[in-house]
Amino acid sequence: MSYGLLLILHLLAAIAFAGTVFFEVVMLEGVRKHLPSDTMREVERAIGNRAVAIMPWVLLTLYGAGIALAWQHRAALAQPLSSSFALLLTIKIALALSVFGHFATAMFWRRRGVLRGARSRRLHLSVFSHVLAIVVLAKAMLYLQW
């Protein structure tokens, strides 16, 4: 598959994932205080069920394309301190692996029925901060040099 097509797939999946995280962290938190607790739980359950159906495919695309793109830069990744691009890409990949770990943890907790309340909010905030850092690093890789 061409580099350009991989880049587009990766970007579209990143938009879908980051947009979902943004919606859950920023938008839903603003709605929470305007709805009764029972209603909010139902909304969160419905959104969670939809996310469980869609996010594995988004993540498969995101990480699959990301791995294929990283393979194109394997020489830089072999020496992460050799350039600003290599270092920033290495940090971006480390954050992406952490996000994947968060996602796996969320699925595990959801199956056990313990992904609720403060635990869920902390997990979402952590993923949101990781995603913001990844987006900034993605741009910085192309524009920062030292």
Residue 31, Cβ density class (10 Å: 0-12 exposed, 13-18 middle, ≥19 buried): exposed
Q: Determine the average pLDDT of the residues in 34-52.
A: 89
Tens digit of each residue's pLDDT (9 = 90 or more) over 92-107: 999 999 999 998 998 8
Q: How far apart are CA 91 and CA 93, in angstroms?
A: 5
- The pTM of this model reads 0.87
Please work out, in degrees rounded to the nearest 5, the angle formed at the alpha carbon of residue 64 by the alpha carbons of 89 and 86. Answer: 10
Q: How far apart are CA 106 and CA 74, in angstroms?
A: 30
Tens digit of each residue's pLDDT (9 = 90 or more) over 47-62: 888 988 999 999 999 9
Q: How far apart are CA 31 and CA 29, in angstroms?
A: 5
Cβ atoms of 77 and 90 within 8 Å: the answer is: yes
How high is the pLDDT of residue 139? 94
How high is the pLDDT of residue 100? 93
More confident of the two residues 9 and 51: 9
% of the chain with per-residue pLDDT over 90: 75
% of the chain with per-residue pLDDT over 70: 100
Q: How far apart are CA 93 and CA 68, in angstroms?
A: 12
